[in-house]
Amino acid sequence: MKPHRNSGLFSNYYLDELLPKEKEFDIPSSEVKDIFVQVKGLWNKDRFQSLNESQLRMHFLDKVLNILGWIVDVEPPTPSGEWSKQVDYALFKNEKALNDAQKGGRDEYFKEVACIGEAKRWERSLDKKLKSESDPFEKQIPSLQISRYLWLTNVKWGILTNGRYWRVYERETSKRLDIFYEIDLEELVENRSVDNFKYFYLFFRKDAFPDFVEKVYTGSINYAKAVGKELKENVYKALEYLAEGFLEMNDLGENDLKEVYDNCLILLYRLLFILYAEYRNLLPVRENSAYYSMEAIKKDIAKRLDENEIIPTSTHRYWDRLKELFELVNSGNEELEVPPYNGGLFNPEKHKFLERYRIGDLYIAKAIDLLTRSRSKDKAYIDYGSLDIRHLGSIYEGLLEHKLQITDEEPAKVYLAADKGERKVTGSYYTPDYIVKYIVENTLGPLIKEKRRKIIDRKKGIEEKYKKARGYNREFYERKSRNVEEDFVDEILSIKVLDPAMGSGHFLVEATDYLAHELLRVLGGEPLEEENRKMLSKESPISYGNEPEELEEDIRWARREVVERCIFGVDLNPLAVELAKVSLWLYTASKNYPLNFLDHHLRCGNSLIGARIENLKNLPDLRKKRQKLATNPNQIGLFEKSFEEKVNVLVGAFAQIEGIPSKTVEQIKEKEQFYEKFRNIISRFKDVADIWTSIYFGNEIDIVKYQQLQNNLRTSTEEWNKLKQEPYFRKAQEIAEEKRFFHWELEFPEIFFEDHRRKENPGFDAVIGNPPYIGFHGFKETKEYLRFTFVTCKGKFDMYIPFWEQALFMVGKDKTVTFICPSGFMKRAYGKRLRNVLLSYELVSLHDFQHDLVFEKATNYTCILQVRKVMPKSNHKLRITLGHDLSSEAVELVQSHLAKNNWLISEKYLNFERIISSPNIVRLESIAEFIAEGIVTGKNEVFLIDASTEFGKQLITEPIVWPALRGKAVDRYESCWDGTLLIYPYAKQTDRQILHLNETAFEKIAPKSYKYLNKHRNNLARRSYFEDSNKNWFELWNQRNVNHQISNKLVVQENSVRCEFYLDNGNYLYLDTSCGISLPSNSNLTYTYLLAILNSRLLDLIFQVITVPKLNGHFIHKPLYLKQLPIRRIAFTTSKEEREKLVMKFKEMYRKFIGEEVENGK
């Protein structure tokens, strides 16, 4: 047994393997023994049990701290503003630091403190609130108290002790409450050696802070990062071994790869759960029997592999041991003291593939060894206890981007291949932890504050009546006041949080933790506000009907309550849903209790494809693409009426699920039964919604049959099953299964309905997350549907655009949506409709990361936008922050300022705004005749010719062959033509009418070009779009305006680090990696003037604000952004002759200057 308990603060591997090698560990035995003897001399357990906190501090704790070398100040001036008494100890390194702190006053005091300390009476629980206590402060959960003190004082390290147990907390992680390093001093003093006592002396003495504990803490973090990186690679290889084992040892082949892959993931999820649970002591199997644990299995495998022992592929010893272990976790075993965790992950009925097939020993051995041991020289076992659950989730989430394939060569092998379509559509990039915390805190924090204010107002009303009351009435209002605070618990647990693209559940885990922490603040007896301290007295802390039992830590109880009642998530990938469950189970699992029932709130489906109940009265109107389908006005409301008859039962089923505790397997099974009842009732309504939605994907049903379908909603099961045999019904089910339709109001009725009617304010309280963004070309099969059903989907939109619109539908009035998403919608054309929708609500805050790339291996520039679903006031200001630092100084901006072509929110723009709004400034689009993108050939390998080749030299003599500028050839004030020639089969253009060359004329005036293109005729004719156009086979995809191309113009590279314009006098055409600008013939501006303005540093700075960034500091120079450039009007009052004289004078001065520079050797 270890001499310490490390609850996630440090790495066990660091403590056990690396720490003994550190110089700090090499303390002389005599020194440790001397401290041990002194502490043991103070030890008097029988006496300690009779002491209160103050007495224990005086007679024992103060003296121990003195022995450990600390300079102690008791009850220092803790900063005010939060409900808390003074912290018990401020611990200093020396007398000077103490004196300086005492001289500095309250605000400066804790800058000199090395560590704070909080003491409790002997053996008082450090993880639970007390049922009763005369001092209201002592009711609080001690771990919550030390966390609050650390944040109030801004001290990084804290010690919490009840005399027997001594703990170290770190400020950032203390919010989790169950992350600490602990020593059982009684065990060390009474039963352990001096060597074991070293682990107490090392971590609690004065010399440990801050350098030593910081070294161990940082070393543990670095270890976790290194292990996580290696584990990410190992998990991929482990899955390949498992897949190979299934394929080699069973009658499975290439057609079974998807099923093999899915079940390999489930198997990996099981192994992950057990490995993590064993390291966190949630599974006691390691303590009871070496055989019934992953610990035993991994060590057995490691020994055999290291000794090069033959492990056969034909035997199934390890598979049988795993199956036995899985059964223990699923069903429990009283003899081994293993609780039944259940939950579904280990349920054999839900994963029959894993019951039907098995894997040979060698494949299992290789997979488990990869998951449990480092590939480094020491082959150390991986410390899962040091890995954050969210980090583990991200590692496994990466697997969802792949699929199994088999090599062509012999012998064939199975391998993981990146599936570009699968995860790109079903999820999003793993979001860094600091961003998740920011989004959760800034979304849920105001919600809690709002509910707190609601309770405070109610309580104040009762207190006014209390003051006026006498006798019995006074007691009545005192009880009612306590009940009001109890209502705050229900208010917190009534919060409904959704992530509509949850992936591994990163946001949901953080939301669970945040709400659980707030729940404990209330249950711990913390008053609603500071001034309430002196109001009504309390006989006991707030009581709640479903509170934790004696053995369960308060924080784990709170997480289990929150996760089942407040947390909702949806994902398109069913394996992502299972992974999210595993993440939440690992985070909320409590020893001796089954896993929470999560099926009712974590659902698989496409968040964007589904029906809304109000629309089901009629068939969809597809007139945009197809002939309108008939409707029957007599059918209006039939679906709603039938649904409202059942909705009370549906909502009741969810209420029963949430009302039943989750303390026994029987209770979990009861929840499952209620949910099964819900699924049975909802199934017919879902069928109708599926049929309605399937019409968008090619299914056909006439109005008569649709009416028949709704008329039969109340019919017998036999009659309904007959309807299911209809071709349209079967096709709808097939499409629904393929697309994974998700009808929000049917899946989560308690969010939108109560009793027999729709809620007055239906919807979630908060929608958070990182919706998928995959580019315009990544979701072809759903693009048309999204255009039909979402007003924001226009142009080259990305997937995150309709997610915003959907989220704003699903959130309640006056509630909040916060997403991290690409910032492109703020300026690009495809984001215009979304911008208009967002501006109709209150924008709370916007953080633009600008050029910072926050996602690993991703090139998206992102922002965090928070929107409140309420109409904005005319003077409403949103909070804007910029750059990498989320805590950067904020700028407040009136929201109406954003109601322009795009959202210009950078600090530079705000500085330039006064200049740009000058009456002498006009936009470039108002003075230019053309601002256009370059020519698109549709077949560059055919139309573009190298002028340096013999063939190019022949073609350049023909009138339709032009030198063409690629973007990279355009520089500031000059070009460097790379010899590209373009076959440009057009004559000229009058107004907007192109004078085409017909095929005969083409062949006559350019025979060599014609003959060359004719060789590629078939390929050119088959170009997409050409089949539906009137273009000739030899034409370009988009030739742009001919006159503009062959005339004077300014040309700029489309993607460059700054504005670099070149003046072309009609010598070149420009291609699609450039853009061009031409002036009307009657313009009073010259090209040279405009060229100088556009190439100026000032215009470049402004343009960086207007446009969108690309990689490596580049910016996009497209017409959408170019046309917004501000150009200074010039009113010429100086005569032409005088202007010419001034120009000549300037040239003379310039030549003189250059001559002097040369003469001086510069």
What's the pLDDT tens digit per position in 963-998?
999 999 999 999 999 999 999 998 765 544 445 678
Nearest of 369, 359, 265 to residue 318 by alpha carbon: 359
Percentage of the residues of the chain whose pLDDT score is greater than 90: 51
* E strands, 312-470, in order: 402-406, 414-418
Report the length, in residues, of the chain: 1162
The last residue of one of the domains, among 379, 398, 417, is: 398
CA–CA dist 660, 536 (Å, integer): 33
Q: Examine residue 242 and state whether it is found in any structural domain, yes or no.
A: yes
Stretch among 185-199, 766-780, 786-800, 1076-1090 having the lowest mean pLDDT: 766-780
Residues 139, 11: one domain? yes
Residues 92, 198: one domain? yes
pLDDT (0 to 100) of residue 466: 78
Q: At what angle do helices 194-204 and 211-249 cross, to 10 degrees?
A: 110
CA–CA dist 270, 322 (Å, integer): 10
CATH of the domain at 104: 3.90.1570.30
Residues 203, 348: one domain? no
Residues 261, 174: one domain? no
The last residue of one of the domains, among 700, 723, 741, is: 741
Residues 46, 119: one domain? yes
Residues 1002, 1088: one domain? yes
DSSP string, 947-986: TTSHHHHHHTTSTTEEEEE-GGGEETTEE----EEEE--E
Nearest of 243, 228, 205, 166 to residue 13 by alpha carbon: 228
**pLDDT tens digits, one per residue of 343-363:** 788 989 999 999 999 999 999
Neighbouring CB atoms inside 10 A of 122's CB total 19
Would you state the structure tokens that stand for residue 561, as one six-digit string?
A: 């309550």
Mean pLDDT of the chain: 86
Q: Examine residue 770 and state whether it is found in any structural domain, yes or no.
A: no
**pLDDT tens digits, one per residue of 696-725:** 999 999 888 988 888 888 889 999 999 999
Task: Kindly provide the b/e burial profile for residues 1035-1065, where b requires at least 16 CB atoms within 10 angstroms of the residue's own CB.
Answer: bbbebbbbbbbbbebbbbbbbbebbbbbbbe
Report the relative pairing of strands 71-74 and 89-92 from DSSP bridges: antiparallel
**pLDDT tens digits, one per residue of 32-81:** 999 999 999 999 999 999 999 999 999 999 999 999 999 999 989 877 54
Q: Examine residue 872 and state whether it is found in any structural domain, yes or no.
A: no
Residues 697, 714: one domain? yes
The last residue of one of the domains, among 337, 369, 398, is: 398
CA–CA dist 515, 768 (Å, integer): 14
**pLDDT tens digits, one per residue of 107-146:** 789 999 999 999 999 989 999 887 655 455 566 789 999 9
CATH of the domain at 1087: 3.90.220
**If you search the block for the tokens 């030593």, which residue do you land on?**
212
Residue 606 above 50 pLDDT?
Answer: yes
| Domains held by the chain: number | 5
Would you state the structure tokens that stand for residue 161, as one six-digit string?
A: 């002790």
Nearest of 897, 839, 843, 893 to residue 868 by alpha carbon: 843
| Burial (CB count <10 Å: 0-12, 13-18, 19+), residue 306 | exposed
Residues 318, 236: one domain? yes
pLDDT (0 to 100) of residue 991: 47
CB 603 within 8 A of CB 569: yes
CA–CA dist 521, 489 (Å, integer): 10
Residue 899 above 70 pLDDT?
Answer: no
Per-residue pLDDT band at 531 (split at 50, 70, 90): very low
Residues 1076, 1137: one domain? no
The pairs formed by 746-750 with CB atoms below 8 angstroms and a separation of 24 or more are 746/613, 746/682, 746/685, 746/686, 746/689, 747/603, 747/605, 747/682, 748/568, 748/601, 748/603, 749/647, 749/650, 749/651, 749/654, 749/682, 750/650, 750/651, 750/654, 750/655
Strands ordered across the beta sheet of 961-965: 944-946, 980-983, 961-965, 1069-1070
DSSP string, 902-946: S---SHHHHHHHHHHTSTTEEEGGGT-SEEEE-BB-S-HHHHEEE
Per-residue pLDDT band at 651 (split at 50, 70, 90): confident
pTM above 0.75, yes or no: yes
Task: Kindly provide the b/e burial profile for residues 147-176, where b requires at least 16 CB atoms within 10 angstroms of the residue's own CB.
Answer: bbbbebbebbbbbbbbbbbbbbbbbebbbb
CB 698 within 8 A of CB 627: no
Per-residue pLDDT band at 283 (split at 50, 70, 90): confident
CB 202 within 8 A of CB 188: no
Would you state the structure tokens that stand for residue 727, as one six-digit string?
A: 């071709």
Q: Examine residue 758 and state whether it is found in any structural domain, yes or no.
A: no
- Give me the mean pLDDT over the 469-479 stretch: 76
Signed CA dihedral, 282, 441, 561, 543: sign only? positive
Q: Which residues contact 103 (CB under 8 A, 6 or more apart)?
A: none
Residues 1037, 1151: one domain? no
Q: Examine residue 456 and state whether it is found in any structural domain, yes or no.
A: no
Q: Examine residue 941 and state whether it is found in any structural domain, yes or no.
A: yes
**pLDDT tens digits, one per residue of 900-935:** 667 877 655 555 665 666 778 888 999 999 999 999
Per-residue pLDDT band at 237 (split at 50, 70, 90): very high
Q: Examine residue 759 and state whether it is found in any structural domain, yes or no.
A: no
Residues 256, 242: one domain? yes
Would you state the structure tokens that stand for residue 111, as one six-digit string?
A: 């800058």
CA–CA dist 1107, 1119 (Å, integer): 10
Q: Examine residue 1109 and state whether it is found in any structural domain, yes or no.
A: yes
Domain assignment of residue 1146, given as a range = 1133-1162
- For residue 76, cis peptide bond before it (omega within 30 degrees of 0): no
Nearest of 913, 873, 870, 918 to residue 894 by alpha carbon: 873
**If you search the block for the tokens 């008791």, which residue do you land on?**
74
CA–CA dist 844, 442 (Å, integer): 10
Residue 533 above 50 pLDDT?
Answer: no
Nearest of 539, 1110, 1135, 643 to residue 860 by alpha carbon: 1110
- For residue 749, cis peptide bond before it (omega within 30 degrees of 0): no
Residues 237, 106: one domain? no
Would you state the structure tokens that stand for residue 395, as one six-digit string?
A: 């590692």
Helices (H), ranges, 566-664 = 574-588, 638-659
CA–CA dist 1085, 1120 (Å, integer): 22
